[in-house]
Amino acid sequence: MNSFLELKNISKNFNTEKKIKVLKKLSYNFEKGKIYSLMGPSGSGKSTLLNLISLIDRPTNGSIKFDNTQVNFNENNKNDIFRAKKIGIIYQQNNLLPDFTALENIYLASLSLHNDKNLAITKAKHLLKLVDLSNRAEHYPSQLSGGESQRVSIARAIINDPEVILADEPTGSLDMDTAKDVFQILKDLKSSSRLIIFATHNRFFANKADCLLEMINGSVKNINV
Amino acid sequence: MNSSLFSALKVERNVMFIILSLIIVVAAFNIISGLTILVKNKTKDIAILKSIGVLNKSIVKIFFLIGVIIGTSATAFGIMLGVTFSIYIENLREFLSSTFNISLFPEEIYFLSKMPSEINPTSIFLISICSIIITIIVSIFPAFKAAKLDPIKALKYE
């Protein structure tokens, strides 16, 4: 199968008081239809890699290709539109907008892309049903539990039917039972037209992925396929 | 004969213009500082919006509109207050004089039986337009500052 996402010689340095080399000439090809888990100790570069793939951050060196098209990191607008259309992001700390209800948090992502409020609300309601939170539509993030917030985050991430889902320790702040529920929702999103990459510290969830990748010394090593 | 009086009135008019201009400058800086604080408080929210693909121009639009709404509503409120004040200026003078037992605008000094006040629609219109234009101009800076925020830093450290 052709790779959908190609990372070639990706390096990322942070110039703080001293130069920190987080990623060192990392190369890897990701395929659609698979779930990849990214393991590694804190500071190994998992989040940095996900930020680069989501085009929120730019690499110091190297190139990223989606579907054989190289990303130009100087085209901010184009990359923002690409991210809105093709990439869904889920963070550890759910990162919902506190002044908006669960429903509004979800439909905002669609509204910004299509500028059609009715369509956005219809899709958001359907997704709330999918994550079993229809009764929480009008609740604010402060009124939701950690697991519920994370389910809202997942619904928001998939409202534009993205081809790539990136999850940065999505179960990191949840208890085991809730984490299993959230992970199952994430797993159910697997399809032949979608690539899912999640970073985790949890070996139990990492082993459930199709490919387990380990971040070692700023590079990525395939543990199993 | 009255040249010194007219000269004094002219000076007073100029001084009033300078004072009122300074008030507008202070109000404009209030809008800038208010919006800058709003941008600072909403740093994480802006980062979240960016992470879900909201365009920079949409973020600029949000904060720009907030500034324009504040400026326009404040202008409307100011005009209402000013016109009401002008209409009832004599009643207000009498009320303050009787309440605090002081002589405001004494007839024997100013040679006028009541406090003069004139509502000039052209002036109101021009002042409103100037206020709204100033608001629009000063709202641009915080709006662009919001759009330039680095989402990585905001999501990491907020």
The phi, psi pair for A191, rounded to 5°, reads -150, 165
Pairing of strands A61-66, A3-15: antiparallel
> What is the interface pTM, i.e. ipTM, of the complex?
0.83
- Does the structure show a pLDDT above 80 at B58? yes
The verdict on B38 touching A (C-beta cutoff 8 Å) is no
- pLDDT at site B9: 83
- Does the structure show a pLDDT above 70 at B1? no
- Does the structure show a pLDDT above 90 at A222? no
The phi, psi pair for A6, rounded to 5°, reads -115, 120
Tell if the CB–CB gap between A97 and B50 is shorter than 8 Å: no
Q: Give the residue from chain B lying closest to A153, CA to CA.
A: B52
Q: What's the mean pLDDT when you consider all of chain B?
A: 88
- Does the structure show a pLDDT above 60 at B98? yes
Q: Give the residue from chain B lying closest to A162, CA to CA.
A: B52
- pLDDT at site B114: 82
**What is the CB neighbour count within 10 angstroms for residue B22?**
10
Q: Is the CB of residue A164 less than 8 Å from the CB of residue A6? A: no
Q: What's the mean pLDDT when you consider all of chain A?
A: 90
Q: Which residue has the tokens 């923002």?
A: A80
Q: What is the pLDDT of residues A59-79, one digit of tens each?
A: 999 999 999 999 999 998 899
Q: What is the pLDDT of residues A74-109, one digit of tens each?
A: 998 899 889 989 999 998 876 899 999 999 999 998
The verdict on B51 touching A (C-beta cutoff 8 Å) is yes
Q: What is the pLDDT of residues B31-49, one digit of tens each?
A: 889 989 999 999 989 999 9
Q: B155 falls in which pLDDT band (50, 70, 90)?
A: confident
Percent of chain A with pLDDT over 70: 98
The verdict on B148 touching A (C-beta cutoff 8 Å) is no
- pLDDT at site A88: 93
- pLDDT at site B108: 81
Tell if the CB–CB gap between A80 and B44 is shorter than 8 Å: no
Q: Is the CB of residue A144 less than 8 Å from the CB of residue A152? A: yes
- Does the structure show a pLDDT above 90 at A50? yes
The verdict on B1 touching A (C-beta cutoff 8 Å) is no
Tell if the CB–CB gap between B57 and A87 is shorter than 8 Å: no
The verdict on A113 touching B (C-beta cutoff 8 Å) is yes
pTM to 2 decimal places: 0.80
Question: Which tokens belong to A137?
Answer: 């539509």
- pLDDT at site A1: 57
- pLDDT at site A124: 94
